[in-house]
Structure 1
Amino acid sequence: MSATRIIEAARAAGLRIATAESCTGGMIGAALTDVAGSSAVFDRGFITYSNAAKVQMLGVSVATLDATGAVSEKVALEMAQGALARSGADIAIAVTGIAGPGGSEHKPEGRVCFALATPAQSDSETIEFGAIGRSEVRAATVAHALAMVVRAVTGG
């Protein structure tokens, strides 16, 4: 399981992890903390479902939210950078998306924006999971986020 691999590799490297979650509502943090010994690695999780929470807890810019909406790589980047700045973590993963049902022509159901921040760099990407169902989008989001963290922790 990638969560176990993350915890083991982060512990070996002396790294701490934070999460900033919107559409997953804490599921990434839960996956990490399901692993015994995760307290040595997992610093904290921010569940920022509303735009107000993104602004208040993570420092996401109101101007960015107004310009791009909550489901954008720019917001995901600001979430990850905010989580990194407001925690004792070395790596922060952030997700924001539309799990469904719903969506629009411009922001369809199943679109999720991811960002990973470290003190050295920040990267983002958007994945279109499609209208596969709310639970499935959320599960796929957790799996993809964990894979991003694995790569960041292990360097591959």
Structure 2
Amino acid sequence: MQATDQQLQEAGNALGDRLVEQNKTIATAESCTGGWVAKILTDRAGSSAYIMAGLVTYSNEAKQAILGVEAPVLAEYGAVSEAVVRQMVAGAVRATGVDVAVAISGVAGPGGGSADKPVGTVWFAWGTGPDHTETRVKCFKGDRDQVRRQSVLYVLQGVTEFLETL
């Protein structure tokens, strides 16, 4: 499934609307999507009312230095893992003071996959901090662009749904 530009824009607008309605701020902590979620959110005029920061932490070193992801967690589970995206959310909330943060880490391809984490595997987390974080894993089909687009759409929709529970 390909996520179109229109679908991404609509999902970004829906999340922006929800953040405005709830008077909440958001930060993104992105790896494989390279800032695409933040880009979609900031495409909208007035988005400075709700988006505080977009952190691209592509390398393990950046995840540790900027978000406080623990080296032993990276060593044991790898960057594409539930444990790491949980720590990415906590670190983004801590670093920016936002109400909600989102984290994405995955294998977009074409290389880099393994038997337990094939190309297309993406871990997501969103939450208000370490005590209230949801995680999900998906394995998307397609090339690098398709995996990244689907990841962006999935997280925008997931965070919008999460905010309904707050």
Say yes or no: TM over 0.5: yes
2:20 aligns with one of 11, 22, 28:
11
CA distance in 2, matches of 1:97, 1:82: 18
Where in structure 2 are the equivalents of 1:43-82 lying within 5 Å?
A: 43-82=52-91
SS in 1 for 2:96: coil
CA RMSD of aligned residues (A): 1.2
Structure 1 outlier segments of 4+, above 6 Å: none
Matched residues, number:
155
Where in structure 2 are the equivalents of 1:6-155 lying within 5 Å?
A: 6-102=15-111, 103-119=113-129, 121-130=132-141, 132-155=142-165
CA distance in 2, matches of 1:48, 1:14: 27
Shift of 1:110: 0.1
What residue ranges of structure 2 are gaps of 5+ in the alignment? Answer: 1-9
Identity %: 41
CA distance in 2, matches of 1:129, 1:8: 27
CA distance in 1, matches of 2:71, 2:133: 20
What residue ranges of structure 1 are gaps of 5+ in the alignment? Answer: none
Q: TM-score, normalised by structure 1?
A: 0.95
Moved more, 141-150 or 115-124: 115-124
CA distance in 1, matches of 2:159, 2:52: 14
CA distance in 2, matches of 1:8, 1:106: 37
- Are the aligned partners of 1:17 and 1:43 in contact in 2 as well (CA < 8 Å)? yes
